[in-house]
């Protein structure tokens, strides 16, 4: 090829490469949504507030239906002395009730290793999938110690657990239906997948907040706004409760005070 032809090919290649680079930068800066970084400080700040207060504040900040993010009353705190807790959801599907067969624990142990690398407060959220739902046992104090060592503050399940006194001593918070004495061999068919617990879906990476009164799921986008507005919700509630408990006011006065206080604390819809 002549030098002139080579120069022409080089000139045509350079604009093409430049165009590809520009398209790549465009996809990074425009097409892809900006990532929201959840920090340890964010999760620790959420622990300053009870679950009901955060739920009340969220109702004024987020159009997402509450049915998508608060768990049913069947999910009780088995360790009410511990909490509130807030952490990143790490999820698993587990069978501890189907008779026979061999244990399948590899997914669980692999997940523990990944937890250790995350360096954030975590909450283990488990959907049980065995053939005898009333005989599931998600964990005892032995697993609680392993999970705690990997960074977990607690576990949430729509099932049963055991060794609760031992879990409290770790300390490891446990949320579920109640207690049970034993289990069949444990199998973990899937981990790090969406799970159905308490009537809602929890995805890996969601924020979970729990205390003695219940469990809610918080999206990354809502974490900081909730931290900012929860003190205002606390102030609003205190203001209206002062009026609502009085015996000398009627319903109209209660409604008027609520409307004024909502506006004063920045919650007027």
Q: Both 82 and 209 in a single domain?
A: yes
pLDDT digits (tens, 9 = 90+) for 17-38: 554 444 444 433 333 334 557 9
pLDDT digits (tens, 9 = 90+) for 129-187: 999 999 999 999 999 999 999 999 999 999 999 999 999 999 999 999 999 999 999 99
Run of H or E including 214: strand 214-218
Q: Which residue, 112, 84, 246, is CA-closest to 188?
A: 112
Distance CA 97, CA 75 (A): 19
Q: Both 203 and 240 in a single domain?
A: no
Core vs surface per residue 178-203: b (16+ CB within 10 A) or e: eebeebbebbbeebbeebebbebebe
pLDDT digits (tens, 9 = 90+) for 190-238: 999 999 999 999 999 999 999 999 999 999 999 999 999 999 999 999 9
Residue 112 pLDDT more than 80? yes
pTM, two decimals, is 0.85
Residues of the domain holding 196: 65-218
DSSP designation for 34: P
Residue 37 burial by Cβ neighbours in a 10 Å radius (0-12, 13-18, 19+): exposed
Q: Both 199 and 233 in a single domain?
A: no
Q: Kindly state whether residue 43 falls inside one of the protein's structural domains.
A: no
Q: Both 24 and 150 in a single domain?
A: no
- Tokens 């049970």 belong to 180
Q: Kindly state whether residue 44 falls inside one of the protein's structural domains.
A: no
Per DSSP, what are the bridge partners of residue 90?
A: 124
């Amino acid at each position: 090829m002549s030098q002139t032809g080579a120069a022409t090919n080089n000139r045509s290649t350079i604009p093409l490469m430049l165009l590809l680079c520009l398209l790549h930068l465009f996809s990074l800066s425009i097409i892809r949504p900006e990532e929201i970084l959840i920090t340890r400080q964010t999760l620790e700040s959420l622990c300053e507030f009870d679950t009901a207060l955060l739920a009340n504040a969220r109702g004024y900040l987020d159009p997402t239906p509450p049915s998508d993010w608060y768990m049913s009353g069947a999910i009780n705190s088995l360790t009410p002395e511990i909490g509130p807790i807030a952490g990143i959801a790490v999820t698993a599907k587990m069978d501890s009730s189907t008779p026979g067969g061999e244990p399948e624990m590899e997914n669980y142990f692999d997940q523990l290793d990944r937890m250790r690398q995350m360096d954030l407060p975590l909450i283990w959220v488990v959907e049980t999938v065995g053939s005898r739902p009333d005989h599931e046992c998600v964990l005892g104090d032995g697993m609680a110690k392993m999970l705690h060592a990997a960074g977990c503050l607690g576990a949430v399940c729509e099932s049963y657990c055991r060794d609760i006194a031992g879990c409290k001593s770790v300390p490891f918070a446990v949320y579920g239906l109640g207690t049970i004495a034993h289990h069949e061999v444990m199998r973990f068919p899937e981990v790090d997948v969406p799970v159905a617990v308490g009537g809602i879906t929890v995805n890996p990476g969601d924020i979970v907040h729990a205390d003695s009164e219940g469990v809610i799921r918080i999206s990354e986008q809502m974490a900081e706004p909730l931290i900012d507005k929860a003190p205002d919700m606390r102030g609003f509630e205190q203001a209206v409760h002062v009026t609502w408990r009085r015996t000398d006011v009627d319903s109209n006065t209660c409604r008027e005070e609520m409307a004024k206080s909502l506006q004063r604390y920045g919650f007027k819809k």
